[in-house]
């Protein structure tokens, strides 16, 4: 299922280009166009689910795959000193695109206080 008005669904469909780092039948991972860190990728399910609060048991497999994929991608992209994962959910959670996605940040931490 997809949403014709969703930017991430359009990326999955190939209507909007992205800098892909991983793809299989369930997930797509690509570089964020407005990165917050030297390495910043998004991991999204190919099926449209608006936010984490809407998942159920049928989504368990790809949710687990998202978490397993994060360290693999960071290693492949040269991140060696740790990384951060974030899933924003709903307006109070800072979600801007309403298609579930996980941010994976690596490299020096611009959010850290210096």
103 is a catalytic site residue = no
Instruction: Quote the CA–CA distance of 24 and 12 in Å, as a whole number.
Output: 11
DSSP state of 2: -
Say which DSSP state 16 is in: S
Gyration radius of the chain's alpha carbons: 14
How far apart are the C-alpha atoms of 3 and 1, rounded to whole Å? 7
40, 48, 59, 101: which is the annotated catalytic residue? 101
- Tell me the catalytic residues: 101
């Amino acid at each position: 299922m997809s949403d014709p008005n969703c930017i991430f669904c359009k990326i999955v469909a190939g209507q909007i280009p992205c800098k892909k780092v991983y793809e299989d039948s369930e997930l797509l991972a690509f570089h964020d166009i407005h990165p917050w860190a030297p390495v910043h990728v998004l991991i999204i399910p190919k099926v449209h689910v608006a936010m984490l609060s809407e998942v159920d048991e049928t989504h368990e497999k790809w949710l687990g795959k998202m978490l397993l994929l994060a360290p693999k991608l960071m290693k492949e992209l040269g991140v060696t000193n740790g990384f951060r994962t974030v899933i924003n959910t709903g307006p109070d959670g800072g979600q801007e695109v309403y298609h579930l996605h996980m941010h994976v940040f690596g490299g020096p931490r611009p959010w850290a206080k210096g």
